[in-house]
Amino acid sequence: MIRVRLIFEQGGLCYYCGIRIIIGDNHPRAATLDHIVPLGLGGTNKLSNLVMACRSCNGAKGCKSEKRFKSEMDQDRAGG
Protein backbone atom coordinates (compact mmCIF):
# COMPACT_ATOMS: atom_id res chain seq x y z
CA MET A 1 0.00 0.00 0.00
CA ILE A 2 1.78 3.07 -1.26
CA ARG A 3 -0.51 5.42 0.68
CA VAL A 4 0.16 3.80 4.02
CA ARG A 5 3.88 3.85 3.31
CA LEU A 6 3.85 7.54 2.41
CA ILE A 7 1.75 8.46 5.45
CA PHE A 8 4.22 6.57 7.63
CA GLU A 9 7.23 8.26 6.02
CA GLN A 10 5.64 11.70 6.52
CA GLY A 11 4.96 10.96 10.17
CA GLY A 12 1.21 11.05 9.56
CA LEU A 13 1.33 14.73 8.59
CA CYS A 14 0.14 16.56 5.51
CA TYR A 15 3.07 17.23 3.16
CA TYR A 16 2.00 20.83 2.57
CA CYS A 17 0.39 22.26 5.72
CA GLY A 18 1.65 19.79 8.32
CA ILE A 19 -1.64 18.96 10.00
CA ARG A 20 -2.24 15.38 11.08
CA ILE A 21 -4.07 13.58 8.31
CA ILE A 22 -6.56 10.79 8.85
CA ILE A 23 -7.50 7.79 6.76
CA GLY A 24 -11.13 8.21 5.86
CA ASP A 25 -13.50 9.78 3.40
CA ASN A 26 -15.36 13.05 3.25
CA HIS A 27 -13.27 14.78 5.85
CA PRO A 28 -11.20 17.96 5.34
CA ARG A 29 -8.21 16.18 6.84
CA ALA A 30 -8.65 12.93 4.94
CA ALA A 31 -5.39 11.66 3.47
CA THR A 32 -5.26 12.01 -0.31
CA LEU A 33 -2.53 11.06 -2.76
CA ASP A 34 -1.06 14.12 -4.44
CA HIS A 35 1.36 14.57 -7.33
CA ILE A 36 4.06 17.09 -6.40
CA VAL A 37 4.39 17.92 -10.09
CA PRO A 38 0.88 17.54 -11.54
CA LEU A 39 0.50 15.05 -14.37
CA GLY A 40 -0.78 17.92 -16.49
CA LEU A 41 2.53 19.71 -15.99
CA GLY A 42 4.64 16.72 -16.95
CA GLY A 43 4.76 14.94 -13.59
CA THR A 44 5.02 11.19 -13.25
CA ASN A 45 3.36 8.48 -11.18
CA LYS A 46 6.70 7.56 -9.62
CA LEU A 47 6.99 7.38 -5.86
CA SER A 48 9.38 10.34 -5.87
CA ASN A 49 6.57 12.52 -7.25
CA LEU A 50 3.90 11.34 -4.81
CA VAL A 51 3.05 12.65 -1.35
CA MET A 52 0.11 12.42 1.01
CA ALA A 53 -1.78 15.67 1.52
CA CYS A 54 -4.93 16.51 3.40
CA ARG A 55 -8.05 16.83 1.27
CA SER A 56 -8.17 20.56 1.77
CA CYS A 57 -4.60 21.09 0.50
CA ASN A 58 -5.11 18.71 -2.38
CA GLY A 59 -8.23 20.58 -3.43
CA ALA A 60 -6.55 23.97 -3.09
CA LYS A 61 -3.44 22.87 -4.96
CA GLY A 62 -5.33 21.46 -7.91
CA CYS A 63 -3.07 21.47 -10.95
CA LYS A 64 -0.60 24.04 -9.63
CA SER A 65 3.05 23.25 -9.17
CA GLU A 66 4.37 22.73 -5.65
CA LYS A 67 6.31 26.00 -5.86
CA ARG A 68 3.31 28.04 -6.90
CA PHE A 69 1.03 26.46 -4.32
CA LYS A 70 3.51 27.06 -1.50
CA SER A 71 4.00 30.68 -2.49
CA GLU A 72 0.23 31.13 -2.37
CA MET A 73 0.14 29.55 1.09
CA ASP A 74 2.80 32.01 2.23
CA GLN A 75 0.74 34.90 0.92
CA ASP A 76 -2.29 33.62 2.80
CA ARG A 77 -0.31 33.49 6.03
CA ALA A 78 0.88 37.05 5.48
CA GLY A 79 -2.73 38.16 5.40
CA GLY A 80 -2.79 38.84 1.68
Site residues for Zn ion per CB under 5 A:
14, 16-17, 54, 57
CB of 75 to Zn ion, least distance (A): 16
Distance CA 51, CA 35 (A): 6
Which residue, 42 or 77, has its beta carbon nearer to Zn ion? 77
- 69 and 16 Cβ atoms separated by less than 8 Å: yes
- 20 and 28 Cβ atoms separated by less than 8 Å: no
CB of 55 to Zn ion, least distance (A): 8
CB of 24 to Zn ion, least distance (A): 15
Which residue, 42 or 70, has its beta carbon nearer to Zn ion? 70
Which residue, 16 or 69, has its beta carbon nearer to Zn ion? 16
